Each structure stands twice: as structure tokens, then as C-alpha cells.
């Protein structure tokens, strides 16, 4: 139906046409050739393309290959290993299975051993922090204990002269016992840290 005075279409055009007189064809890229009667912009795009006239391709990193018609944001999330509104960024290699949250890039399943942080981009052995594998500091301290046990209380080129002055004369083998205490204390660090963190959460 059209206006009797200017022939302008009163309601809508048949599918595939637009304009005041419905004499203009919609872009062939529009889904089912449907477009806005006033602008000629596609009402919907086929899978995998976006834009006013559906002439721009969605990024292949979008899950299912589909994206928002207006801004190319991936509508169904990203493929594994990708993040960002358009899934253009790579998740950290240190994320477990390299999976991360779509918008922030935070690792969703935690970090691989030896790394921490929201994006698992910080090594655990940093500024005195312990690795998630606590065996490393224990092994180092074991070596220290053995060395001190065999050489700590002696001096000289051949290490055959025993130190006897204060405070080494208070107990036998003071370096050995001191190293043993250090070793034991270091072994307890991971457990005391965990207890401390849990107690803070309860406050």
C-alpha cells in the first residue's frame, strides 16, 4: 500500500527492497535479503559476517565463527586459547590447558606449576616466594646441612682444625645443629604460610 499523493510506501517493502518507493534492492549480503526500509542496512547478517551491510568477516577465533552484527564481538565466546571482545588475544601459555576468561584473560583453571598471578605471568620463585613444589628449598637446605656438618666446625686449608672459641664451645658441633634448625624451619614455611592465609580468611 502506498500514499495516494506521493506514492511512498505506507508500511513496509516486500523482502529484498527498501526506500520510500521500495524500489531499491537490499544488499545481497543481508540474511534472507531483509534490510531496513529507511537505510538499506541489513536487519541480520548470515553466520560469520558483520557490519551495516554484512560485508565484514568475523575473526576465525570466535567460537562457532559468529559475531555481533554491530561491533564484531564474539557472541558465543572464544576458541580455546583466545580472549578479548573479538577474541584477538592469546591466553597465557602458563594457564592450565591455556584456557582463560574471555574478557579479562584471567586463567580460569589456574596456573601450571611454577607460575602464579591472574594471568599466570609471574614465576613463583620471585622475591623470596616459594615454588608450589616445596622440595627445591628443602633440597638446597639438605645440601647446606651436609656441608656444614662436615666442614662448618673446622677451619684451615685442610679443614682439620676445629673451632673452639666462643660461641662454638657452648655445644658440640654447633654448625651442624644450627643448620638442622634452619632446615626444619624452612620445611615448615609452606605449612605456616597456609595456616596464616586461612586464618586471615576467617577474620
Tell me the pLDDT tens digit for each residue of 101-117: 988 999 999 999 888 89
Q: What is the largest distance, in Å, between two alpha-carbon atoms of the chain?
A: 120
Report the distance separating Cα 36 and Cα 44, nearest Å: 10
Q: Which of 33, 55, 77 is the last residue of a domain?
A: 55
pLDDT confidence bin for 128, thresholds 50/70/90: very low
Q: What is the b/e burial string over 16-51, where b = at least 16 CB atoms within 10 angstroms of the residue's CB? A: ebbbeebeeebbebbeebbbebeebbbeebeeebbb
Same domain, 45 and 2: yes
Number of domains in the chain: 3
Tens digits of residue pLDDT in 53-74: 999 999 999 999 999 999 999 9
Residue 144 placed within a domain: yes
Are 64 and 124 within one domain? Answer: yes
Q: Which three cell numbers stand for residue 192?
A: 605456616
Mean of pLDDT values over 66-90? 93
3-state secondary structure at position 90 = strand
- Which range marks the domain in which residue 4 is found? 1-55
Query: Are residues 99 and 78 located together in one domain of the fold?
Result: yes
Q: State how far the Cα of 113 lies from the Cα of 135, in Å rounded to an integer.
A: 13
Predicted pLDDT of residue 129: 47
Task: Answer yes or no: pTM beyond 0.95.
Answer: no
- Residue 111 pairs in a beta bridge with 95
For residue 167 the three cell numbers come to 660461641
Q: Is 202 within the bounds of a domain? A: no
Residue 115 to residue 77: CA distance in whole angstroms: 26
* Whole-angstrom distance, CA of residue 203 vs CA of residue 200: 5
DSSP conformation class of 149: I
Least confident of 33-47, 65-79, 142-156: 142-156
Rounded to the nearest 10 degrees, the angle between the axes of helix 135-147 and helix 174-202 is: 160
Residues counted in the chain: 203
Amino acid at each position: 500500500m502506498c500514499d495516494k499523493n506521493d506514492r511512498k510506501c505506507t508500511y513496509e517493502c516486500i523482502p529484498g527492497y527498501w526506500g520510500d518507493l521500495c524500489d531499491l534492492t537490499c544488499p545481497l549480503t543481508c540474511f534472507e535479503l531483509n534490510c531496513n526500509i529507511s537505510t538499506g542496512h541489513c536487519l541480520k547478517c548470515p553466520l560469520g559476517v558483520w557490519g551495516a551491510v554484512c560485508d565484514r568477516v568475523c575473526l576465525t577465533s570466535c567460537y562457532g565463527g559468529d559475531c555481533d552484527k554491530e561491533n564484531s564481538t564474539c557472541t558465543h565466546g572464544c576458541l580455546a586459547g583466545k580472549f578479548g571482545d573479538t577474541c584477538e588475544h592469546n591466553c597465557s601459555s602458563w594457564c592450565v590447558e591455556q584456557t582463560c576468561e574471555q574478557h579479562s584473560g584471567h586463567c580460569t583453571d589456574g596456573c601450571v606449576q611454577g607460575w602464579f598471578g591472574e594471568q599466570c605471568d609471574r614465576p613463583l620463585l620471585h622475591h623470596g616466594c616459594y615454588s608450589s613444589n616445596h622440595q627445591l628449598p628443602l633440597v638446597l637446605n639438605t645440601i647446606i646441612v651436609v656441608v656444614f656438618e662436615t666442614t662448618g666446625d673446622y677451619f684451615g686449608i685442610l679443614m682439620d682444625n676445629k673451632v673452639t672459641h666462643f660461641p662454638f664451645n657452648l655445644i658440640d658441633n654447633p654448625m651442624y645443629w644450627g643448620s638442622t634448625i634452619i632446615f626444619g624451619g624452612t620445611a615448615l614455611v609452606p605449612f605456616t604460610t597456609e595456616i596464616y592465609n586461612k586464618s586471615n580468611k576467617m577474620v
